[in-house]
Structures are given as C-alpha cells and as structure tokens.
A and B are shown apart, each in its own frame.
Chain A
Amino acid sequence: MFKKTLDISSSPHIYKGRSTDDIMKNVVWALLPVVGFSVYSFGWNALWVIATATLACVLTEHVLCKLSKKETTVQDYSALITGLLLGLTLPPIFPLWMAFVGGVIGIALGKYVFGGLGYNVFNPALVGRAVLQAAFPVAITTWHPAFLADRFSTVSGSVFTWPFMQPQFDAISGATPLSAFKFDGITASTAELAFGQISGSTGETCAILIALGGVYLIARNMMSWRIPAAVLLSAFVLSGLLYVINSEVYPSPFFMLFSGGLMLGAVFMATDMVSSPITPIGLWIYGGIIGILTIVIRIWSGLPEGVMYSILLANAISPHIDKVIQNRVYGTSRKIKTI
C-alpha cells in the first residue's frame, strides 16, 4: 500500500514561501508610480531616458552571464531595479547614449565584478550615475522644466545625440530647486516639492509618491523602515539645527527633506539590502551617516546635491559597520568588537 521509497530532507519542512524575486518584484511595483509621474511631468523625454537605462542594465546583466557561461540572472528582477533607479536619477533630457553607458557601467563595474547579486559593495545604479557625473558634468546638470505644454508632442533634440557627440541643449532649461538655492539663494515651497511641481532628475521630483512606495514596501516587510527613518531624521535634525541658528543663510529643514534626490535616495537607494548593514543599530548608523553627509555636502561643498556621494560613502562603510556592530546574542552581554 505504500510507495517503496520516501523522500527525506532536513528540517524545517515548511517554509514561509517568500522568495528573493518576490521582494525584487515588489520593489518594481513600488517604483512604477514614480516612473509614471516622471513621464507625466517630463513627457516622452523621461520615458526614453528611463527605458534606455533599464534596457542597458538588463542587457548587460544577460550578456555578462552568457559570456561567463552561467545561467542568466535577469529574471531575479535586480538588474531591472538597477536600471529603473539609474534612469530615475538622470535629467529628463539626458542623451540616451550616455544613459546606456551608465547602465552598462553600473551593472558591469558596480555589480558583476563583485560577483553579482548579493555581493556588490556599492549600489550599482549609483555607481553608474557617479561615473556619468564625472564623465559628463554638463549633460548631467542640464535640467529641463517640468509640465511643458509640448512634453508629449516633441522629444528634446539632446536626447537623441549621436554617441560620443556633445549634445546640443535646447534654449529652455530649468534650474532644480537645489541649484536655484545654491547659486541664487531661492528656495521652493514644500508643497511644490512634495507634489513634484518642480524640475529635477526624472524620478526625484514627487516626494509624496516616492514615500508612498516606501510605505508599501515597509508594510509588506520588504524594506527596512530604519534606513529611510534614519536618513530623513538625521537630515531633518541637522538642517533644522542650522535653520534655528541662522534662518537667513540656511534653508528650512522641510525644504531640505523634500528637495533633490533625498527622498528617492532614502527610500529606494540607501535601502538596497545588499549594500547596507544588517543589524538594527548598524542601519541607524548607516542612515545617519547618509542624512548628515547629504546636508553637509549641500550646504558647505561646491555641489548643489550630495545624496549620491553620501550613499556611496555609506555603502563603503557598511561592511565595517557590520563588522563592529553585531546584535547582542541571547544570554550574553554586549561586546563591541575592535576591527
């Protein structure tokens, strides 16, 4: 009456049934509204840029896997996320060939050489962007106003610049709130910032949608709430302190919180699980570093925005945070390890 053989396995015999690609898929869902708003506010330009960056990342991942004779890993959605994130950090009229280069470099140098998913030290999307920032300083800081009347009828000429050619930008270009503040001392209102009535990178303008995406992921237990909390809290506290000291020179903490890439960085970039620490205390330290560094760069450096460099720096520190900060194990007293 019984089969001759039984299967054996080592316990546990039941599983929660969530997998890594589930998490990745949900990050994509959370990003889609941001992408949607980006296209809504900047038109076809933005769609082209985001699609190109995404295509570059996915293609690079696939080709590299094939070249090293491994099974392709594109179906785990992580390259797709990297592509979307890279696209969302670029200006809407960014030349497509440059976006493509950014995607290739992000995946190849930011992820693949470290060993692929799970082994990258830095957020691959930001590696791509950092290289673009260094290589094409003009193109990456040439902004475009949002909600132009012709945004769905024409595509900006600079987008289709031939590879290795300098782009010719249109006459109309808009300053981002951060550069307007940095170079002209003008600050935008919080409402404008929160609802994306501003210029900026394709995906960073609508802080509310980004935050909602984060809330979704946190509610589904697919993202650490501690990182965005730490980033935003530390940025708010530092800029608030400065604002209290001298509100003539320093902008309000709300402006700091909702402008630029801080929200996008705090919710979708800093929270990359692989390149962030793993213990709760480690996460607070990591997030704190990002928040404080961002404000420091924004206020005292020559750059208007500092989120990218802050996150990359914190990524570099993250393995060391993990080395020093470990959970206190049940039944033991905490001991801080020396490096």
Chain B
Amino acid sequence: MALFNFHKNTFKHGIHPPESKDETRGLPIRQFPFSPVIILPMAQHIGTPSEIVVREGQEVVRGELLAKAVGYLSVPMHAPVSGIIRKIANVPTISGKMSPGIYLETFPSSTQEVLEGKPIDPDTATAEEILQGIQDAGIVGLGGAAFPTHVKLKVPEGKKCETLLINGIECEPYLTTDHRVMLEQESDIFTGIKYLLKATGAGKAIIGIEANKQDAADHLARHIPEDLPVSIKVLPVKYPQGAEKMLVTSVLQKEVPSQGFPIEVGVVVVNVATTAEIGRLLPHGSGIQERVITIAGPGVKKKGNYRIPVGTPLRFVLEHVGVDEDITEVYMGGPMMGVAVSNLDISIVKGTSGILVFTGKDVSQPSKTYPCIKCGACLDACPILLNPSKLGILAKFEAYDEMARDFHLMDCFECGSCTYVCPSHIPLVQYFRLAKRVVRKRQAEKKEEEVNV
C-alpha cells in the first residue's frame, strides 16, 4: 500500500464530524466560583486509587496533600479549596459505582491562596527529580485519559526518546480547552516542555495543532524561547487525530506497532494542557487543584471555557452556567468519546475536559437499525484500518475470541468513527467495548488458571 502516499501530514481514514467549536473558541478562560462542597473521589486516574491521609474534621489549606499515591502507577491528590474535611465516605462516580472519597466543605471567607511546596528548577533538576515532581503534583493526562503522566514519561530500559510530541490537536467536537490554553498559557507550555525534554531526554519537541486553531499555532510560534528546540506543525483537521498513534503518524509518518506505545518508535506524546499544568505547578511545587473545562452544547446558557476546581459537583456547575429546563443528556468529555452522565451528584475529576449539555430535540438518536449492507463506510473511517463490518457480525455471534485473534479487536481504541458513519446504525464501537472487556476478562482468568496450575 505504500506504493502511493496520499496521506502526507495526516493519518489514513478518519472522519469529519461538525466541529461545533465556534461558540466557545473565542471565549477566554474564566475562573469558576468555589462550590460550597467539594466531592473528591480517590479513583480519578488509571491505576491504584490514592490513599487518604487526612481525617474528618481536619482543616486543610488549598493545595495541601489530601491523599498520597499508592505505588508507582498512582498519583496523590491535593485540596482544591481551603476548607474542612466534612466526611470521608463513598462518593458517587460517573461509572455509577460508589468509590472512596472525601467531602470537603469550602471556607466561605477564605482568600483561597495556594500552598506552595518545594519548587523544582528545570535547569538543575535531574530527570528523576522531575518525574518525581510530576507524580507529587498529582498530574495525569488532562486530555481525558487520566493516565499518570510520570509513568508515561518514563522511558523504558533500552529505549530512547528522540521526539517529544505535544498534543494540541483537540479533535473532539465542541471542546476548546486546549485551544484556549495554547492562546493564554504559552509561557506555561514552554516551561512545561523544558521539564518534559529533560525528563524524557528527547532532543526536540514538536507541537501538533489542527488547522482550525491556526491562531493558536501562530501565537505559540511567536513566543518560542530561543534556547528551546520546539517546532510547530499544523495538521489538516480530522478526527481522531488527537489519538496518540494517529498523531505520531500525522507528524512523523511512522506507525506505532500494534499493542505498543509511541516510545517504540522513539516518541513520547503529552497533551498540551498537561504540559501547561506541569509548567504552571512544578516551579511552585504545588499540586493540581483545578483544570480548564469547556462547557458547551445546545442546552447551556453561559457557554465558555472555565477553570474549575477538581471535585466541584456537576449540579453546582450546571446551576452556575444555567441550563435549559428540558435537558436530557449530559456528557463528560467530547461527543465522540465522552461518557453520558446518569447522575448530577458526581463531580468534576482531573480527566474531565468538557461538559456538554443536550436537550431532547438536539440529541441525534439513530432512527432504525438495518442489517449490515457491507457498504464499507466503517472500513473507510477506521483510523487503524480494522474491518468493523466483519467485527460487528462476529460480535453479534459473540465470537469474541475470533475477533481478537483474527481481526485485531484489541487494537481498537474506541474512537467511535465506525458507529458515527454506519448508515445501518449498527452500534459497532459499543459492541467492541463489550467484546474487549470480555476478552480481557477471559485472558485474566486464563492467566490465573495457569498460575494456579
């Protein structure tokens, strides 16, 4: 297939959903008010949940450590506001499960000044010290995955990181947080890159930005510090370019091996908002207390980009921005990969990049499901070149093992492009999510059996 390369500067396939970014792209980031109560689940990241180190009734200062990391694949959590620990109990989470957490009551009259810790100097700190600092700041991937960043940055033995890719793609419709961060926090981003270059040992950094954010690309290009090996690459708009593997292909024309990470081709990818947060927090030695979130969708009155304290209850957020009476669906994240919220009593977590509110008339429910007519639209959409049509048929017969063995099911990263284009409205990616879970479970069971034998 490499006979002709029509795909310069982008990856193969993908889709072009309506961008729907116009309403919030021009709105500067605004500080959100402090909610009277902050609800903090301990499982906000991929890995082991944090372990609570405060007790009920204790007064805490904004930025103070509330919970510590447990092991390597874990991060600590800091107080998003100054206040008093009202209760340590199970709190609701987006998955519907209750998870251990903290109810923190905000001091109404506090100036909410942030407690500072031990600063990390990018010029003198070692790679290990920076990685430790990133973990101590509680930083996880702010693009939505919430994977502990220090783990991702750790280059495995025998591998070398040549390029640091900063992900400023933001390909999800509606979301404009990365766009605003790039326009408003250029110095944080470049400071963050300085830390990241040192932590990974990469010789250069490239910031990938989609062409619909040309202003952000121009703005960053004007402010690149002279001593920093950073370049900016503007890429054609296409979903899901923000996925790590797709971005690596778009920028470097390399493919990340199946089931592997970008480091296999000498690349580490970090989200631009995460980079800015590293650049903002590490010089002060403080931890994450808040994050930038786009609040948009047809049901919202005061749309915008807000800096919201982690743990702010969703109900408080929606009451503050004002929503229509007849809202029917609320999503956390973008419309392509975001999760529908069943309960407004959950709170903002570190991985929340957007809150989208839809009313009944705006929700585009597919009308009727037809049989697969093998039109191939899903094959033309799938960015990793799977055969969703075939996978969908196999999923109907619950042939999950065959899907994984012969049709690369486990390579699917659930971008949803197949479901988006399917004219027969077959819930393809939904099938695959289920199938992947079953396969993973079976694999784990098999492993357990082997251990027991």
Q: Which A residues lie at the B interface, using CB under 8 A?
A: 1-3, 6-23, 76, 115-119, 224, 273-274, 276, 278-279, 322, 326-332, 334, 337
Contact = CB atoms under 8 A, between A and B. Distances in A.
B433 A13 contact: no
Contacts of A18: 421, 423
10 contacts: A6-B340, A9-B365, A13-B336, A13-B338, A13-B363, A14-B173, A19-B424, A118-B370, A118-B374, A330-B256
A68 B111 CA distance: 73
Given A7-B328, A13-B340, A13-B358, 15 more contacts: A11-B331, A12-B416, A13-B331, A14-B364, A16-B17, A19-B425, A22-B423, A116-B371, A273-B373, A279-B379, A329-B408, A329-B411, A330-B385, A331-B411, A332-B258
Contacts of A334: 1
A15 B420 contact: yes
A12 B335 contact: yes
Contacts of A8: 329, 340-342
B149 interface: no
A276 B374 contact: yes
B337 interface: yes
A11 B364 contact: no
Interface of B: 1, 12, 15, 17-18, 173, 245, 249, 255-260, 315, 318-319, 323, 325-331, 333, 335-344, 356, 358, 363-368, 370-376, 379, 383-387, 389-390, 406-408, 411, 416, 419-421, 423-425, 427, 429-430, 433
Given A19-B367, A118-B371, A14 B255 contact: no
Given A273-B376, A278-B379, A6 B342 contact: yes
Contact of A274 (B257, B318, B373, B420): B373
B373 A117 contact: yes
A207 B366 CA distance: 38
A337 B405 CA distance: 12
Binding site secondary structure of chain A: loop
Given A1-B325, A15-B425, A330-B384, A118 B372 contact: yes
B256 A331 contact: yes
Contacts of A10: 340, 427, 429-430, 433
A276 B376 CA distance: 10
A9 B337 contact: no
A12 B329 contact: no
B387 A278 contact: yes
A144 to B, nearest CB: 35
Contact of B376 (A3, A11, A278): A278
Nearest first, the 4 A-B pairs at minimum CB distance are A118-B371, A12-B416, A330-B384, A331-B258
A276 B375 CA distance: 9
A136 B188 CA distance: 81
A11 B433 CA distance: 10
B314 to A, nearest CB: 10
A278 B379 CA distance: 8
A305 B338 CA distance: 55
Given A15-B364, A327-B387, A331-B245, A274 B424 contact: no
